[in-house]
Amino acid sequence: MLTFLDALQGQLRAAMERAFPEAGQQASEAERPFDPQLASASRPEFGDFQANGALALARPLGLPPRTIAKAIVEQLADDPAFGELCEPPQIAGPGFINLTLRPERLAGEVARRLADPRLGVPTVPGPSGNSAPAPVVVDFSSPNIAKEMHVGHLRSTIIGDALARVLEFRGHPVLRLNHVGDWGTQFGMLITHLKQVAPEALTTADAIDLGDLVAFYRQAKARFDADAAFQATAREEVVKLQSGDPISRRAWQLLCEQSRREFQQIYDRLDIRLSERGESFYNPLLEGVVADLEGLGLLVTDDGAGCVFLEGVKGKDGQPLPLIVRKSDGGFNYATTDLAALRYRFAAPPAGDGAGRLIYVTDAGQASHFAAVFQVARRAGWVPVGRRLEHVPFGLVQGDDGKKLKTRSGDTVRLKDLLDEAVERAEADLRRRLAEEERTEAESFIRHAATTVGIAAVKYADLSTNRSTNYQFSFDRMLALNGNTAPYLLYAVVRIAGIVRKGGAQLDPAAGASGPALPGVLHFSEPQEWALVRELLKFDAVIAEVEEELLPNRLCSYLFELSQVFNRFYDQVPVLKADEPARSSRLALSRFTAATLKLGLGLLGIPTLERM
C-alpha cells in the first residue's frame, strides 16, 4: 500500500494548503502545519486509510475539526488525480476523513505486483537519489573463541540474520559482522593452562577436539580465579600475545582457526552468512581511543583507571557512574574495544566502513553497557550527524519451567544439540504421518524435508516472538502443524502452490502477465477476494516497518494473517471450479499469495518445500 499512501499524502497536503492558505503563511517550515496524519484504517468499515490531520488543525485555526475536514474534502473533490484513486471520502466522528481506494486501482496494483519479482517492494534510494546508500552494519552472533556455540547465541544469530536479509532486500549494502571474542585475558589463561596439560594443542592444528578445548577453558578459568601465581603467569601471557610474541601468536591462531571451523558448521546449517571481525581487529586502535578521549577532556583518572563519567546515569550513592576505558593496570576492556569498533565503522573509507547505520543485536542484559558506549561516542563526536546507532535487545530463551534453558545436568544447551533434536523430532513426525497415510517416500526426501522443517521451526519460533521478551522453548509447539508455526506456513505454501499448478498457472511472479494465472484485466467481486487483495498489498508496508523498527515478528504476524485470510477466501469462494473471468483472477490471487509467503519466509531465512 506504500504507493497509494505516498500519493494520498501529497494529495491531502495539497488540499489542506488550498483550503487554509493562511495557516501555511503563519507557520514556519519546521512546524509542518499541513500534516494529513494518514494511516491505514483500523477497521475495514472505515475504508483503506484514515486521515486525522483535521483534528490537529482545530486549535491553530480555531475551527471545529469537522468544519476543517469538510473544507479539505471539498478541495479533494476538485483534484482529478484523487478522484481516479479514491472513492468520495467520508467524514466520521469528530473529523476523521475515511478514504477507500477504487476497486480498479486495487486490481491494477495486484496485476503490477504479480509481474514484479519483488512483489511491489521498492528499493531504497541513495542519498542523492541515484548513488548507493551508505552501508548498514549489523553486528550479531558473536561467539567466543575456545567455547562452543550454545542456545544463548541462538537469538542473536537468527534475529541478526533476518534483519540483514530484510535490509539487503530493501537495497541497503549490509556488512554482516561477527564480533567474536578472540582477544584478551581468556587467551592468556587458556594458553598458560594448555602449555602444562596439552602443549600439542598450541603447535598442531586440531590436536584436541573443541569439546576438550572447552573443558580445558573451564579448568583454566577455575585456576585463574583460585591461584594467584597462575593468574600472574596468565597476565604475562596476555602481554606476550599483545606484543606479538611469535609462539603466543601461533598458539592463538590455532585456537581461533579450530573454533572458527566449528562455528561455520553451525552457520552452514542455519544458512547464515557472516564476515568475522573479532576484537583483535580493533586492538591497534585502542590506544588512539583513550588518547582522543583524554584530548577531548572526557577522560578522568579515578582510582587509577581511565574513565568517562556518564551524564544522567547515577549509582546508588547518587554519583555519576563511570565507563572504564583503561583499567588501573593499564589494560583495556570491552568498552574500549566497542568504542574503537563504533568509531571505525562510522569513519569514512579507507579509515573505516563509512556506515550510515549501526545495529547491535545482543541480549537485553547488555543494554546499559551499550547505552553507556553510545553516550560516550556521541559526546566524543564519533557519531556523524544523520547517522543511526541502535541496540537491538532480546530476551532469554527459557525452558518450560520459565527458567533459563539448560540441560538436565544443569549445563547450557549446545546449539548443535538443539538443532539435532529439532531435525530428529521433525523426521519422527514426518515418518509417523507417512505411515498413517500409507505413503512411501524416498529417504532423500524424508531427510531433506525433516531438515528444512526442523531448522525452520527453531528459527520461526524465535522470530515470531517479540524479541524484547523472553520466550519458552517447546519443540511440541514449534513443530505443530497448526497455529503460528513454521510447519503450518510451509504447508500453506505447498498447498497454495498445488492449487496454482492444478489451475495450469505458473507460480513464479517473474513469469509476467502472459501466463494463464494473469488475464489482461483482473475481475474481483466478492468480499473475500477484496479482503485478500488488501492483505496482499500490505506486504511492502510490512517490510518497510521491519526495516525501520527492526522487529522480525511483525513479518511473521503478517505472513500468518495472510495465510488465514487466504484460507477464508479459498473456503468461501470457488477457485478451480469458478467460471471465467473469476477463475483466472482467483488463481492470480492464489499465485500472489504463495509468492508472498515464499518471499516473506525467505526474508526470515526459511526456505520452502515443493511438497510435504
- Predicted confidence (pLDDT) per residue in 104-161, tens digit: 999 999 999 999 999 999 999 866 556 778 999 999 999 988 888 988 899 999 999 9
Among candidate residues 128, 103, 140, the one with its CA nearest the CA of residue 276: 140
The fold of the 2-101 domain, in CATH, is Gyrase A; domain 2 (3.30.1360)
Q: Is-same-fold flag (282-394; 486-603)?
A: no
Least confident span in 342-356, 397-411, 568-582: 397-411
pTM for the model stands at 0.92
Domain chopping of the chain, boundaries? 2-101, 185-273, 282-394, 415-478, 486-603
172 has a pLDDT exceeding 60: yes
In this prediction, residue 42 carries a pLDDT of 85
The fold of the 486-603 domain, in CATH, is Isoleucyl-tRNA Synthetase; Domain 1 (1.10.730)
The one-letter code for the residue type at 28 is S
Q: What residues form DSSP beta bridges with 394?
A: 363
393 has a pLDDT exceeding 70: yes
Chain center to CA of 50 = 29
In this prediction, residue 559 carries a pLDDT of 98
Inter-CA distances, 378 with 217, 298, 311, 389, Å: 37, 12, 12, 10
Q: What residues form DSSP beta bridges with 363?
A: 394
Identify the residue whose cell numbers are 573505516. Answer: 352
Inter-CA distances, 522 with 109, 180, 436, Å: 10, 53, 41
Among candidate residues 61, 58, 52, 50, the one with its CA nearest the CA of residue 1: 50
In this prediction, residue 127 carries a pLDDT of 64
CATH number of 282-394: 3.40.50.620
Q: Which helix (H) or strand (E) holds 312?
A: strand 305-314
Q: What is the mean pLDDT of residues 290-319?
A: 93
How many CB atoms lie under 10 A from the CB of residue 316?
6
